[in-house]
């Protein structure tokens, strides 16, 4: 796509006014769907950029049947903004940062990291989990944007939420696994959290959920790749907490550059984007 001419990507630094209902829903349920965060033309421009970078930096070489539950759930390629200048324009865009800030009710946000999550045709379900289990962060003001790069429906592995579950904080000391699926499934049933998911999403729509919102996704029963790009934001001023598990220790070194525990999350990998 870049051969022969210079590709000019759309700027994504203008602000989108959110419906009051989206902000209210997010604060009550811990998740919301915002339609057309990117226009059809914008997502058409950025899709090949993100897919190309994900293909280039994907390190998973095993066949689907040779992987564990986590490996079958999706191809996961992280912090593409550090490796690709065009993806960087997407990840550091002020439009999405402003939506994240407005939903959480904060003035400024920083990047925690990004992830391309591509669920292959025939890919397995993503078990129930809480993202913030992995993060040594001292605030509940964390949010993940989950944006499909293609039109998707339930059969392709739609993100599904337990509404209101973020208020419980960290519930189990489980990574994403068969064990987490069983434990969270029982917990969600026992606490009667309403289950919510979109039936369809257009490319450029995005769901937004808090770090402690319990969620999962079905398998991809279609013959198409479910290509999704995510960006995780944290409120500016958040600090690094002592580790609660080995994954938080890994995250401390990988995404927070080993800055002192108790210190601000403000490393070179965590730029303020708003």
C-alpha–C-alpha distance, residues 216 and 181, integer Å: 8
Asked whether residue 260 is domain-assigned, the answer is no
pLDDT band for position 144 (cuts 50, 70, 90): very high
| Out of 43-47, 91-95, 123-127, 172-176, least confident range | 172-176
- What are 6-15's pLDDT values in tens digits? 578 999 999 9
Residue 4: predicted pLDDT: 47
Asked whether residue 40 is domain-assigned, the answer is yes
Structure tokens that stand for 129 in this block? 């989990």
- Residue 96: helix, strand or coil by DSSP? helix
Asked whether residue 30 is domain-assigned, the answer is yes
Asked whether residue 13 is domain-assigned, the answer is no
pLDDT band for position 20 (cuts 50, 70, 90): very high
Asked whether residue 183 is domain-assigned, the answer is yes
Q: How many CB atoms lie within 10 A of CB 17?
A: 8
Cα 46-48-50 angle, rounded to 5 deg? 65
Q: Report the pLDDT averaged over residues 191-211.
A: 98
Structure tokens that stand for 130 in this block? 């809480």
> Based on the structure, what is the number of domains in the chain?
1
Domain ranges, residue 164: 23-255
Asked whether residue 231 is domain-assigned, the answer is yes
Residue 1 pLDDT > 50:
no
Residue 237 sits in a domain whose CATH number is: 2.60.120.620
Asked whether residue 267 is domain-assigned, the answer is no
Q: Which residues contact 250 (CB under 8 A, 6 or more apart)?
A: none
pLDDT band for position 179 (cuts 50, 70, 90): confident
Asked whether residue 208 is domain-assigned, the answer is yes
Structure tokens that stand for 86 in this block? 């065009």
| Secondary structure (DSSP) of 205-267 | -EEEEETT--EEE----SSS-EEEEEEEEEETT-BBPPPSSHHHHHHHHHHSTTPPTTSBS-S
The C-alpha torsion from 49 through 52 and 58 to 62, rounded to 10°, is 140
Burial of 114 (0-12, 13-18, 19+ CB in 10 A): buried
């Amino acid at each position: 796509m870049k051969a022969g001419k210079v590709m000019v990507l759309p700027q994504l630094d203008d602000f989108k006014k959110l419906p009051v209902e989206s902000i209210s829903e997010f604060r009550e349920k811990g998740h919301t769907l915002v339609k057309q965060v990117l226009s059809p033309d914008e997502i058409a421009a950025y899709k090949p950029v993100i897919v190309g970078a994900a293909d280039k930096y994907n390190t998973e070489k095993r066949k689907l049947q040779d992987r564990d539950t986590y490996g079958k759930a999706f191809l996961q390629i992280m912090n593409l903004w550090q490796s690709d200048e065009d993806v960087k324009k997407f990840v550091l865009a002020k439009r999405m940062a402003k939506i994240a800030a407005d939903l959480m009710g904060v003035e400024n946000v920083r990047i925690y990291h990004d992830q391309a999550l591509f669920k292959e045709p025939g890919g397995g379900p993503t078990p129930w989990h809480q993202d913030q289990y992995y993060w040594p962060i001292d605030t509940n003001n964390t949010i993940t944007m989950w944006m499909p790069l293609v039109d998707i429906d339930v059969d392709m592995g739609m993100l599904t939420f337990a509404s209101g579950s973020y208020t419980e904080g960290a519930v189990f000391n489980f990574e994403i696994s068969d064990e987490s699926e069983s434990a969270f499934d029982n917990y969600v049933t026992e606490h009667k959290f309403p289950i919510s998911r979109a039936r369809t999403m257009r490319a450029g729509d995005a769901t937004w959920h808090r770090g402690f919102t319990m969620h999962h996704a079905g398998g991809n029963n279609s013959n198409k790749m479910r290509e999704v790009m995510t960006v995780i934001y944290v409120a500016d001023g958040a600090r690094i907490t002592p580790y609660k598990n080995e994954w938080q220790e890994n995250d401390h070194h990988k995404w927070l550059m080993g800055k002192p525990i108790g210190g601000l999350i403000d490393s070179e990998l965590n730029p303020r984007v708003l």
